[in-house]
Structure 1
Amino acid sequence: MNGEVHLPLVLALDDPAATLERVGGKGASLARLAAAGLPVPAGFHVTTTAYQRFVQEQGLQGEILAAVSSISIDQPSTLEAASQRISLLFAQHSIPADIAAAIRQAYAELGGGAVAVRSSATAEDLPEMSFAGQQETYLNMQGEDMVLEAVKSCWASLWTARAIGYRARHNIAPEDVSLAVVVQRLVPADAAGILFTVNPLTAAHEQVMINAAWGLGEAIVGGQVTPDTLVVDKESGEVVERQISSKDVMTVRTAEGTHEEPVPLEKRTQPVLSAKQVAELVRLGMQVEQLYKQPMDIEWALHEEHFFLVQARPITALPEPAAPREWKLPKANGRYMRSSVIELMPDPLSPLFTTLGLPAWNRVYKQLGEELGLSFLYNDSFLTTVNGYAYYDLSALNVRFKDGVRIITLSLKELFKLLKTAQKRLEEDARPRYAALSQQWEAVDLQQESAARLLEGVTELVKVASEYYLTIQSGVLPAAYMSEAAFTAFYERLIRRRNDPPALTFLLGFTSEPIRAEQALYDLARWASTQPRLADVLLQLSSEQFREVYQADALAGVDTDIWQSFRERFIAHLKRFGHAIYDLDFAKPVPADDPATLFETLKFFLSGEAPNPYDRQNEAQMRRERATLIVLTRLKRGPRLAAFKKLLKWAQTLAPLREDGLADVGLGWPVVRKMLREIGRRLVRSRALATEDDVFWLTLSELQQAVSLLDHGQTPESYQDIVSKRRATWKSQSTMNPPVALPQKGGTRVLGMDFARFMPARTEQESHDVLKGVGASPGRVTGTARVIHGPDEFQQMQQGDILVARITTPAWTPLFALASGVITDVGGPLSHSSIVAREYHIPAVLGTGMATERLRSGQRVTVNGDVGTVTIHEK
């Protein structure tokens, strides 16, 4: 028989050879449960070899393929006709004698009696799709003849109408499927049901759900009865929800098989399971989940106080878990705020950044605290998370007013020292050190490095990045804020006359890194416009299409040399500016990873409708110089002139330095992401992860363990289920609107003073047509709101839209070229959004606290940057 004579026709239930290919999905799962010592009814497998032999020796394969070749999945009648034709073929032929003999022998060794005969297809009960109910099960089969007939009926059920249609819709070729059969002792169940190791209604992974009914489990599976439903907390074992149904019918055994009969009246509303039985069933469910390392759907039966597992398969579809309803404080009397560096973390954090990034920041904060004499404040959890969002833990500052004054006084001396050396520390130490380490790792062949060395390098780069940011935060940023505030106050009160320009005029028109990035992209577009056909072809591409073609060697319709030149220029642009971050969390791509985010702005520049950014900057520079000359001419001499010149120089020096500093926060992120994704690639190869990017959803300790195993040639455990849970949790958390301060009532009280009126976000606003915020860039504009949650939505931004975002960072700057106004949840007069909006001369209202929650793309809104309001014109 061409080599197949050596393949087994029958296998013991727990035989190690019971693989998916030989015994199908259901059989392989039962074999795995039995081999692990779990309570599975004894039985045996009739392997796929037996099915294939039957089909081959009876000459059925050609007729089967001919029958299914004429189906149309949109016409159920064709599926039914094919199924009936194939079913008749099976009924007309007998099982070959040697196969029948092998089944008889296995049945006899099982002890004969009542058995369950279950179909087990080779494309069934798999994690990526569910074939549940596609093939048949026959219960209470007794005697050799009934068992053999049931086996053949199971084989035929591989070709039911629903199974044929299901496979066709999932592009599974009919010649690629086969069927095994599982024969097991029938459990004469007093009760039966289903256990889900995750709550299938809410996706709560900390809960299990149990369905239970009297008799055999077919009444539940077939929907003839509403079972009892119990939801149980895994950790405590407490039943958190209990629904006891009226169970009117149950499936029972008969001489010919099974049938439904009424449940005795006294048992209809009686709970099926006792508390002790519930606890035992949950324990078994947890063992199965740990064995498979993923959520499981388990069918069980109960007979004489003993549980039996009759089927287990991965849960293939879960709803998104519900977002938490409460903002539970890590410390009962704590104070938590979202400000400063947290403005660069608008979304919930990835597990890896939470366990690697935040600790690095906390270590440098602790060092700063020692320098300032504030070591009590900067502890190991100074940066912490609540519902996945980053918060500063300011609990140590929950003190009386006089103690707060003393703390501020003690730290002022050291703080002024840091401010005085801000520029030097940034330009001569922090940035060169950060750039050197980034360049060093960029030059390394990552594929040749051990996984442990890659992780060491990542840790090293994150440490230097945190030190770089703290250099900005402890020097350039506060110095810039103070210098602008001091100059503005002095100018508005002691210098400005009725027709003089506002103080802002003196601080615009400087070149900073985000502006240089915009001008470089404009230069690229201007060059592309001079090349034959290049601009026309690029303008026809979508962002998604550009993502696919920009690295290709050729582009249809464009001369190859021109395209190569464009690619070189574009890649050089990414190398120069592609490290700008959308989010401090290194799990988020940067433009160097996904340049499609820049493409809509590039197309805007190619269209010829975009203002020239050089002209805009030159105009602002001319207005600044003219205003300065007027003031200098008017003052001539004296203390006011000296103060004006000193304060102006201080503010003008620090304004662009602040933007340059922020623009380089992610200088090492492109290579950090490459290094982590290289580790991820190796974990995918070992099947521990499904994709390279799943590496960001591991914790540092998990990654360290996995890296150690990789380097020692061992296979790490699968993290795929853990990653899936964490991604789902992150997605639910991302729908929340984090309060700027916790607790939500009184959380703004720090150092004995209430900072509520200084906080930029106003999450407590009532639901009406006007949102209040901070007027951060003057002017008034009415337009179409465009809510953008992240770089993957940048392509939605159209020219003239009003940009609505949680927060913007330097990497968002290309959208400002398209925007007619800006609205954010978080931010103030000195945040990045404010600075760039002023440079682009577009109105901005920041710190609304809830714009992304209250506004929808397409609504007409008015942004009034003069008074800090957003008016909603359309619901």
Structure 2
Amino acid sequence: MNGPFFTLTDPAATNTTVSGAKGAALAHMKQAGLPVPDAFIVPTETFRSAIDDLPKQAINALKKGPSNANHIVTDGLRNGTLFNSWLDALGEAYAALGSRAVSARSSSMAEDLAEASFAGQYKTVLNIVDLNKLVDGIGRVWASHFSPHAQAYRKRHRIPEEGSAMAVVVQRQIASRASGVLFTRDPQSGAKRCVISAALGQGEGVVSGRAPTDHWVVSPADGTVLSAEIADKYLRIETRAEGGLNTGEVEAEQRSAPALQPEHIAQLTQLGVRIEALFTGAQDIEFAVDEAIHILQARPITTVEEIAEPDEPWEEGLDTTHCWTKGRGPFTRLEQDYMVEYMAHARACYKEVGSRMTAKHLYHLCNGYMYTRGPEVEPDELARRHDAQTERVDACTERGTTYFEAVQRGIIENRLAELRTQRRRAKSPADRVSYLDSCLRMLGYVAGHLHWSMGRPEPLPGWHEEYEALTGRPQHEANTFLQAIDNRMTRLVGQLRKLARIVQSDSTLHTLFRERRFDELDRPATWPAGRHFQTRFRAMLKTHGLRSGRGYGSSSSFQTPTWNMDPRVPLDIIATYAEQDLDTLDRFEHEARRERYNATRRLRRQFARDTEQRTRFEGALLRGQLHVRFLEDHNYYMEQCSGGTAREAIDAVGQDLVNQNAVDASDDVFHFSLAELRALATTAHPADQRALIAERKSEFERRQRMQPPDTLGADPAEKPQKEREKVEQGRQGNRLIGASASSGRATGRAVLIESGQRPRIHPGDILVAGNVGPEWTPAFAVLGGIVLDEGSLSQHAAIVAREYRIPSVMKTREATRHIVEGQHIVVDGDQGIVELEPNEK
């Protein structure tokens, strides 16, 4: 111990409550003889004392995330009672390192955990070169504890404030020739192989994505390099003599040379094996290289779980003369029964219309995963099916409607009406299981047959392509012609906004919604505005209560509850609208509709004298606008109503088992097959099923950790590669390149959406996600922008974004990797670019 600080060799430094998680890990490695640069630790107790010394108003200001948060801490530190007794000791510890240049790294007690890495959430200050700047650096690390995105991350992972005190690691700065990251397991697949990424200069270039990076995959067993990718390293992050970092160009002759030599790869692999053994788990390790290799930090890989072996051989009972392709999975027992039903209807669909989406309807279920292949069909027969379907769809288009609206909607409405009648007559558990069986059969028919027979086998050119061909203008301008078109979604949003107006008009409701005290609305309201709201809310649920958000791009699953089952979801959306200026939203929507009318009139005048062009324009625009209505209408009937009806039938059967004390929760029903549910329903007092449910849940969790092969049986036939124009997407410097989905430009606070989670959003926030679907579109009108890793210009998110003129960029590939919660970003929907404003790492 050096005064109030701890060196890495001090036995107490390995205690997380003293050194934080990162500092404790460094101490363990240092004391195990690993090459860790010398460092000392400013312990968590010093952080607590410094923060306790700050005025209450300073703490409140910190939690609001002001731009001068760093100064609040450092000024408070200098003016506080702790400072005088602390500065001399800090100077002595700094001098004892024997290095002018040091770094100040965050080391929270709740950082670098196996279940929550906190990567990028806290501050690290690199290349500090004097004592005064070191004080500032420590203050900046402490201030980052209070940043909005760090607070949101802790809340998301349910980490209490008292369990996240911040230590600081003051470490000798390495003037590295190369730096990088070593994963002791493949971070994507979990395979037992080392993955090494390295760039020239400082490691900040690798972790931020700013510097071009080389990649190696290495066998940890014998050090064999399995693959290597060497980048054109045109820039590097360098240290400056006066402190801080700088971006420098790499000499032309060095750009294509590997950042690491073979001996470095071998040594890093050996170090990775040692560090994984030390911490008994897969590790994410940062390193630097000068004349030697230095380990800067190590933390558990949060995305890797131990791979589970299959319960039965993957090809058990399989016709291996064919190639079978892995589909979805693993499925629970009840989901497997549904998938069998779905595949039967997909087979019928393929036989009728030849849809490519149902071609692979022959299936093999193994370990809860489904493998599929298609039958051999003569080309002439397939062409006959396609021609018949094209004729059916085109006949509807010529009448100004869609095949769904003209034919399928009535079929679905009739089936839903039959199910409602059966539900009313279901009086016993056996009746409700029979009703569930009917619901799953109906959903299989809708999703497996009707859904894939809605359109032409060979779709006509889309509106965006036709607009560009007709006008010579960029495709993103075509968005104007599709905005503010009336459909199921716009009508739902209109109802939600009317409910939000009721909330705004009453102080009691406004308080309940602002504080998200929705439980108080479960009982009948005693005041007029409350009763009025509940009446209107029930009316909304009568139309939209079956909604669960299923659809393309959605994270909603077969198990996601409906709005009827969990009304907090629509109530939360209403609360978000109640925070907005609804008059401005109405005005904005009116302007969008007027802009569409004016743009349409301009093009009609432009093509007035060219009958052929005018006809082509009108046909393409009609198809585009029909597609907008069709996308939301078919989703309402097929995914929301049909899927929601089945979901609520599952819940009813589950509630029966809960009431009979056979299981603990209604969702346990997913782990029974239909045959098992029928048997339980015929028993007046079914036996306790908890042991079986525990076994099935364990089985399902184990199957999630399996690594099913991509294909089974014969080798897949190689498909001819189509030549396509290379499209640059992903991180490029301080920008993310994607595809424009909706025009406009917006700056706002990023809100990251993880699968199955619904964080609170505020007007103007920018939603960042891998992909989103109908579960989020009702809230789009309050968003400032949308950024997705994936996505399609014709999916729900893109269409609704265009309806409300929300700037949107899709297909960025890695937005969720480079953007952190609370970071301010710029969404340029015109150019398909996301600008990343400077973010404190």
TM range (shorter): 0.5 to 0.7
Alignment of 1:651-662 (within 5 A): 651-662=624-635
In the alignment, is residue 596 of structure 1 matched against residue 568 of structure 2?
yes
In the alignment, is residue 426 of structure 1 matched against residue 404 of structure 2?
yes
In the alignment, is residue 414 of structure 1 matched against residue 388 of structure 2?
yes
> Counterparts of 2:754 and 2:498 in 1: how far apart (Å)?
28
Q: CA offset at residue 833 of structure 1?
A: 1.4
1:761-789 CA distances to partner (integer Å, 9 max, x unpaired)? 99xx7999765544322344443332223
What one-letter code is carried by the residue in structure 1 that aligns with 2:343?
N
Q: Which residue of 2 aligns with 1:79?
A: none
> Counterparts of 2:544 and 2:415 in 1: how far apart (Å)?
17
The counterpart of 1:512, out of the listed 487, 490, 493, is: 487
Q: Which residue of 2 aligns with 1:833?
A: 797
Whether the aligned pair in 2 keeps the contact of 1:822 and 1:845 (CA below 8 Å) is yes
1:37-68 CA distances to partner (integer Å, 9 max, x unpaired)? xxxxxxxxxxxxxxxxxxxxxxxxxxxxxxxx
> Counterparts of 2:409 and 2:725 in 1: how far apart (Å)?
31
**In structure 2, do the counterparts of structure 1 residues 442 and 486 end up closer, same or farther at CA, with 3 Å as the change threshold?**
closer
In the alignment, is residue 644 of structure 1 matched against residue 617 of structure 2?
yes
Q: Which residue of 1 aligns with 2:602?
A: 630
The counterpart of 1:666, out of the listed 631, 637, 640, is: 640
**In structure 2, do the counterparts of structure 1 residues 476 and 864 end up closer, same or farther at CA, with 3 Å as the change threshold?**
farther
Q: CA offset at residue 522 of structure 1?
A: 0.6
**In structure 2, do the counterparts of structure 1 residues 842 and 535 end up closer, same or farther at CA, with 3 Å as the change threshold?**
same
Whether the aligned pair in 2 keeps the contact of 1:799 and 1:819 (CA below 8 Å) is yes
TM score, norm. by length of structure 1 = 0.51
1:773-820 CA distances to partner (integer Å, 9 max, x unpaired)? 4432234444333222356x3243233222133432223113313322
Q: CA offset at residue 373 of structure 1?
A: 5.3
What SS does the corresponding residue of 1:775 show, helix, strand or coil?
A: strand
> Counterparts of 1:774 and 1:404 in 2: how far apart (Å)?
38
Q: Which residue of 2 aligns with 1:463?
A: 441
Whether the aligned pair in 1 keeps the contact of 2:476 and 2:743 (CA below 8 Å) is no
**In structure 2, do the counterparts of structure 1 residues 517 and 754 end up closer, same or farther at CA, with 3 Å as the change threshold?**
farther
The counterpart of 1:808, out of the listed 751, 765, 772, is: 772
What SS does the corresponding residue of 2:604 show, helix, strand or coil?
A: helix
> Counterparts of 2:777 and 2:585 in 1: how far apart (Å)?
12
Alignment of 1:764-803 (within 5 A): 773-790=738-755, 793-803=757-767
| Bigger Rg, structure 1 or 2 | 1
What SS does the corresponding residue of 1:794 show, helix, strand or coil?
A: coil
Q: How many residues align?
A: 520
Whether the aligned pair in 2 keeps the contact of 1:351 and 1:697 (CA below 8 Å) is yes
**In structure 2, do the counterparts of structure 1 residues 512 and 819 end up closer, same or farther at CA, with 3 Å as the change threshold?**
same
In the alignment, is residue 690 of structure 1 matched against residue 664 of structure 2?
yes
> Counterparts of 1:486 and 1:844 in 2: how far apart (Å)?
19
In the alignment, is residue 364 of structure 1 matched against residue 349 of structure 2?
no
> Counterparts of 2:357 and 2:782 in 1: how far apart (Å)?
46
Q: CA offset at residue 668 of structure 1?
A: 3.4
Q: Which residue of 1 aligns with 2:538?
A: 571
Q: CA offset at residue 692 of structure 1?
A: 1.4
> Counterparts of 1:790 and 1:353 in 2: how far apart (Å)?
22
> Counterparts of 1:761 and 1:393 in 2: how far apart (Å)?
33
Q: Which residue of 1 aligns with 2:283?
A: none
Q: Which residue of 1 aligns with 2:588?
A: 616
Whether the aligned pair in 2 keeps the contact of 1:786 and 1:804 (CA below 8 Å) is yes
Whether the aligned pair in 1 keeps the contact of 2:345 and 2:449 (CA below 8 Å) is no
> Counterparts of 2:375 and 2:737 in 1: how far apart (Å)?
31
Q: CA offset at residue 695 of structure 1?
A: 0.8
The counterpart of 2:693, out of the listed 707, 723, 726, is: 723
The counterpart of 1:817, out of the listed 767, 778, 781, is: 781
Whether the aligned pair in 2 keeps the contact of 1:507 and 1:651 (CA below 8 Å) is yes
1:546-591 CA distances to partner (integer Å, 9 max, x unpaired)? 0x2222123xxxx534322211111111121222232364321122
What one-letter code is carried by the residue in structure 2 that aligns with 1:842?
I
Whether the aligned pair in 1 keeps the contact of 2:390 and 2:456 (CA below 8 Å) is no
Whether the aligned pair in 2 keeps the contact of 1:804 and 1:822 (CA below 8 Å) is yes
**In structure 2, do the counterparts of structure 1 residues 375 and 570 end up closer, same or farther at CA, with 3 Å as the change threshold?**
closer
What SS does the corresponding residue of 1:579 show, helix, strand or coil?
A: coil
What SS does the corresponding residue of 1:593 show, helix, strand or coil?
A: coil
> Counterparts of 1:761 and 1:517 in 2: how far apart (Å)?
37
> Counterparts of 2:740 and 2:542 in 1: how far apart (Å)?
35
> Counterparts of 2:732 and 2:454 in 1: how far apart (Å)?
38
Q: CA offset at residue 511 of structure 1?
A: 0.8
What SS does the corresponding residue of 1:564 show, helix, strand or coil?
A: helix
Q: CA offset at residue 454 of structure 1?
A: 2.0
**In structure 2, do the counterparts of structure 1 residues 488 and 685 end up closer, same or farther at CA, with 3 Å as the change threshold?**
closer
Ranges in structure 1 where 5+ consecutive residues have no aligned partner: 1-318, 343-347, 398-402
> Counterparts of 1:717 and 1:767 in 2: how far apart (Å)?
58
What one-letter code is carried by the residue in structure 1 that aligns with 2:498?
D
State, as a whole percentage, how many aligned pairs show the same letter.
21
Q: Which residue of 2 aligns with 1:246?
A: none
In the alignment, is residue 705 of structure 1 matched against residue 685 of structure 2?
no
What one-letter code is carried by the residue in structure 1 that aligns with 2:749?
T
1:612-649 CA distances to partner (integer Å, 9 max, x unpaired)? 55433332222222122112222223211222222222
What SS does the corresponding residue of 1:838 show, helix, strand or coil?
A: helix
What SS does the corresponding residue of 1:776 show, helix, strand or coil?
A: strand
1:72-126 CA distances to partner (integer Å, 9 max, x unpaired)? xxxxxxxxxxxxxxxxxxxxxxxxxxxxxxxxxxxxxxxxxxxxxxxxxxxxxxx
**In structure 2, do the counterparts of structure 1 residues 783 and 350 end up closer, same or farther at CA, with 3 Å as the change threshold?**
farther
The counterpart of 1:322, out of the listed 282, 288, 305, is: 305
Q: CA offset at residue 519 of structure 1?
A: 0.7
Q: Which residue of 1 aligns with 2:290?
A: none
In the alignment, is residue 560 of structure 1 matched against residue 534 of structure 2?
no
The counterpart of 1:521, out of the listed 496, 510, 516, is: 496
What SS does the corresponding residue of 2:646 show, helix, strand or coil?
A: helix
Whether the aligned pair in 1 keeps the contact of 2:463 and 2:620 (CA below 8 Å) is yes
**In structure 2, do the counterparts of structure 1 residues 636 and 379 end up closer, same or farther at CA, with 3 Å as the change threshold?**
closer
Whether the aligned pair in 2 keeps the contact of 1:321 and 1:732 (CA below 8 Å) is no
Q: Which residue of 1 aligns with 2:274?
A: none
> Counterparts of 2:395 and 2:442 in 1: how far apart (Å)?
19
In the alignment, is residue 495 of structure 1 matched against residue 471 of structure 2?
yes
> Counterparts of 2:381 and 2:739 in 1: how far apart (Å)?
29
What SS does the corresponding residue of 2:581 show, helix, strand or coil?
A: coil
In the alignment, is residue 354 of structure 1 matched against residue 318 of structure 2?
no
Whether the aligned pair in 2 keeps the contact of 1:803 and 1:819 (CA below 8 Å) is yes
**In structure 2, do the counterparts of structure 1 residues 337 and 507 end up closer, same or farther at CA, with 3 Å as the change threshold?**
farther
Alignment of 1:6-17 (within 5 A): none
Q: CA offset at residue 367 of structure 1?
A: 0.5
The counterpart of 1:580, out of the listed 526, 547, 557, is: 547
> Counterparts of 1:732 and 1:841 in 2: how far apart (Å)?
44
Q: CA offset at residue 725 of structure 1?
A: 5.2
**In structure 2, do the counterparts of structure 1 residues 782 and 551 end up closer, same or farther at CA, with 3 Å as the change threshold?**
same
> Counterparts of 1:754 and 1:407 in 2: how far apart (Å)?
26
**In structure 2, do the counterparts of structure 1 residues 633 and 425 end up closer, same or farther at CA, with 3 Å as the change threshold?**
closer
What SS does the corresponding residue of 1:845 show, helix, strand or coil?
A: strand
1:630-671 CA distances to partner (integer Å, 9 max, x unpaired)? 122222232112222222223222321222111222203444
TM score, norm. by length of structure 2 = 0.53
> Counterparts of 2:734 and 2:436 in 1: how far apart (Å)?
47
**In structure 2, do the counterparts of structure 1 residues 591 and 325 end up closer, same or farther at CA, with 3 Å as the change threshold?**
same
What SS does the corresponding residue of 1:783 show, helix, strand or coil?
A: strand
**In structure 2, do the counterparts of structure 1 residues 424 and 837 end up closer, same or farther at CA, with 3 Å as the change threshold?**
closer
Q: CA offset at residue 359 of structure 1?
A: 2.0
1:396-427 CA distances to partner (integer Å, 9 max, x unpaired)? 69xxxxx9988975653134135336656533
> Counterparts of 1:784 and 1:721 in 2: how far apart (Å)?
46
